[in-house]
Amino acid sequence: MPKLVDHEQRRREIAAAVWRLASVSGLESVSLRQVAAEAGVSMRLVQYYFETKHGMLLYALKHLNEVLEQQVRARLDLGREPTPREIIRATLVELVPVDERSRMVSLVFIAFFVRALNDPALSEAFRGDGTDELAAFFATLIRDSQALGTSPAWLHPEREVATLMAVANGMGPDVLVGTVTAEEVLATLDYNLDRIFPPPH
């Protein structure tokens, strides 16, 4: 009986090879041949799943976002309903290079961002990655907390969310080059989250 092939799993393995290469040397020099070697498969197999390098990169970016979403869900598997603060924090922590896995993720996103500056289709993928929807969701969580009286009424939800995301996204590269520590970034996130969701006295 012929062995069944999980085609989606093969695509994911190829995407993971793209991530590893991108985290070391960026995307400009990454070729289908290099990806095949990194994935331990033939170039013909890579071409079977992805006709072009561009298509491969788009898939790799899409799958990376899916993996991050899975990681957030795992962080929120608390055996109870997570609080709005926990939801926002768990999501933003995934953007901070706190360990080797998240360090690689940060490097990969930087590599994709640099390439997207001169690649309209990849730039469009970045704009359609759900960031706007996520920000709107966070703002709704803050607004709901205000309605319950657990967040200060004077807060501007959208601006608070913009600040939180700027901390997570903007300070990540600083961690990579060593000008701040991951602990300092998390402390800054918690400082802002405690202002939005004051701990009970």
190 domain residue, yes or no: yes
Q: How would residue 130 be classed by pLDDT, with cut points 50, 70 and 90?
A: low
105-114, 120-129, 134-143, range with the lowest pLDDT: 120-129
Alpha helices, H only, 76-156: 84-93, 100-116, 120-127, 131-148
Is the pLDDT at 1 greater than 70, yes or no? no
Could you tell me if residue 13 is inside a domain? yes
Q: What is the rounded CA–CA span in Å between residue 72 and residue 89? A: 9
- Digit-coded pLDDT (tens) for 132-169: 888 999 999 999 999 999 999 999 999 999 999 999 98
Distances from the Cα of 106 to the Cα of 98, 113, 156, angstroms = 10, 10, 29
Residue 173 included in any domain = yes
Residue 1 lies in a domain: no
Domain assignment present for residue 154? The answer is yes
- pLDDT-derived band at 71 (thresholds 50, 70, 90) equals confident
Q: Would you say residue 67 lies in a domain?
A: yes
Domain span holding position 180:
7-196
User: Cα separation of 23 and 29, whole Å?
Assistant: 12
For 94-109, how does the pLDDT look when each residue is reduced to its tens digit (9 = 90+)? 889 988 888 998 998 8
Q: Domain of 143: which CATH number?
A: 1.10.357.10
The tally of domains found in the chain comes to 1
Q: Is residue 2 part of a domain?
A: no
In a domain, 201, yes or no: no
| Other CB atoms within 10 Å distance of the CB of residue 129 | 17
